[in-house]
């Protein structure tokens, strides 16, 4: 275990319990907003929790952040590399050259770089100093669809080369086979944690089964409209399919705890007595 959040509360996030193990790849699925931004800052130890505890056995300098918006500047690549060196320690020349490739030089201006090369520049920070944890904000959702797989492959490869752990934020469940753990957030709290790529929470199932595919002109795609989380009871209860007569009162009035369902943890009253 390199980082553990124990029932952490921030200004927005609520009851976040999450363990990051060494060399583990974790996907956190949530719409990007102030809540996820706060969780990212808690994971990178930029802020302290309002309530709860964060146990960190690695140095803060061993954490790298891949931001949502890539760097945009009139500076040259070499200037940023110098900055990395000053901040994190000596860089690994061979990997830096390999990642950059032969199409860009250290004298290339950052604003002249293509989107994928800006991404490469961001991940180069991983090759400076010792790295144990990489926290990547939901940059994939801001990239071209066709580049996402390539970028994710590269990020995972780099994480493995450095024997580090990865926490990636994304608004959808993507490439689930890549990750050791998938955590689904709704209303700034964890509704499910899955290690076997199986899901039980109705919101997780919706995310897993939703795919925008080629279709006919003006053909609407059947989907349940999901609005804001409820401020009382279970945050997902206005949109839930699992509510029945017996559960209704509880779902409407009490927020469930995380229940163990097979290898998952699921925040849903439906699973209270199902193991």
- Contact call for residue 94 and other proteins (CB under 8 A): no
Q: In what order do the strands lie in the sheet with 165-170?
A: 63-66, 133-136, 165-170, 25-29, 181-186, 189-194, 264-266, 259-261
Neighbouring C-beta atoms of residue 166, cutoff 10 Å = 25
Alpha-carbon distance values, 3 to 55, 139, 180 (Å): 6, 22, 16
Beta-carbon contacts of residue 96 (< 8 Å; ≥ 6 apart)? 81, 124, 127
Q: Is 93 left (phi over 0), alpha (psi -120 to 50) or beta?
A: alpha
- Contact call for residue 172 and other proteins (CB under 8 A): yes
Complex with other proteins: residue 61 or 224, whichever CB lies closer:
224
Torsion on CA atoms 145, 146, 152, 153, rounded to nearest 10: 160
Taking the complex as a whole, the smallest distance from the CB of residue 273 to other proteins amounts, in Å, to: 29
Query: CA 57, CA 77: separation in Å to the nearest integer?
Result: 32
- Contact call for residue 226 and other proteins (CB under 8 A): yes
- Helices 93-100 and 115-123: crossing angle in degrees, nearest 10, is 170
- Contact call for residue 273 and other proteins (CB under 8 A): no
Choosing from 74, 177, 216, 231, the residue that interacts with other proteins (CB under 8 A) is 216
Choosing from 12, 45, 75, 116, the residue that interacts with other proteins (CB under 8 A) is 116
- The percent helix, strand, coil of the chain (3-state, each to 5) is 35, 20, 45
Window 185-214: residues binding other proteins (CB under 8 A) = 206-207, 210-214
Q: Write the binding mask 46 to 85 for other proteins: x where contact by CB under 8 A, - elsewhere.
A: ----------------------------------------
Taking the complex as a whole, the smallest distance from the CB of residue 169 to other proteins amounts, in Å, to: 11
- Contact call for residue 231 and other proteins (CB under 8 A): no
Complex with other proteins: residue 33 or 67, whichever CB lies closer:
33
- Contact call for residue 107 and other proteins (CB under 8 A): no
Complex with other proteins: residue 30 or 255, whichever CB lies closer:
30
Under the rule (CB under 8 A), what is the footprint of other proteins?
Answer: 31-34, 103, 114-117, 138, 141-147, 149-150, 171-172, 206-207, 210-221, 223, 225-226, 228
């Amino acid at each position: 275990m390199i980082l553990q959040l124990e029932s952490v509360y921030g200004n927005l996030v609520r009851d976040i319990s999450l363990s990051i193990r060494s060399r583990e790849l974790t996907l956190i699925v949530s719409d990007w907003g102030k809540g996820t931004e706060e969780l990212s800052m808690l994971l990178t130890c930029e802020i302290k929790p309002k309530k709860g505890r964060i146990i960190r056995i690695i140095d803060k300098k061993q954490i790298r952040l891949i931001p949502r918006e890539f760097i945009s500047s009139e500076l040259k690549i070499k200037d940023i590399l110098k900055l990395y060196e000053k901040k994190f320690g000596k860089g690994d020349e061979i990997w830096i050259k390999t990642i950059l490739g032969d199409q860009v030089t250290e004298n290339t201006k950052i604003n002249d770089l293509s989107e994928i090369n800006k991404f490469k520049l961001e991940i180069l920070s991983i090759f400076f100093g010792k790295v144990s944890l990489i926290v990547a904000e939901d940059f994939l959702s801001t990239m071209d669809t066709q580049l996402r797989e390539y970028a994710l492959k590269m990020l995972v490869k780099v994480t493995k080369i450095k024997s580090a752990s990865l926490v990636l934020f994304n608004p959808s469940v993507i490439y689930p086979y890549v990750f050791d753990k998938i955590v689904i957030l709704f209303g700034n709290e964890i509704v499910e944690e899955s290690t076997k790529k199986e899901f039980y929470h109705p919101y997780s199932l919706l995310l897993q089964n939703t795919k925008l595919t080629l279709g006919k002109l003006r053909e609407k795609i059947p989907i349940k409209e999901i609005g804001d989380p409820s401020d009382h009871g279970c945050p997902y209860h206005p949109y839930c399919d699992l509510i029945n007569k017996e559960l209704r009162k509880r779902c409407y009035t009490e927020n469930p705890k995380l229940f163990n369902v097979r290898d998952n943890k699921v925040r849903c009253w439906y699973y209270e007595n199902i193991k």
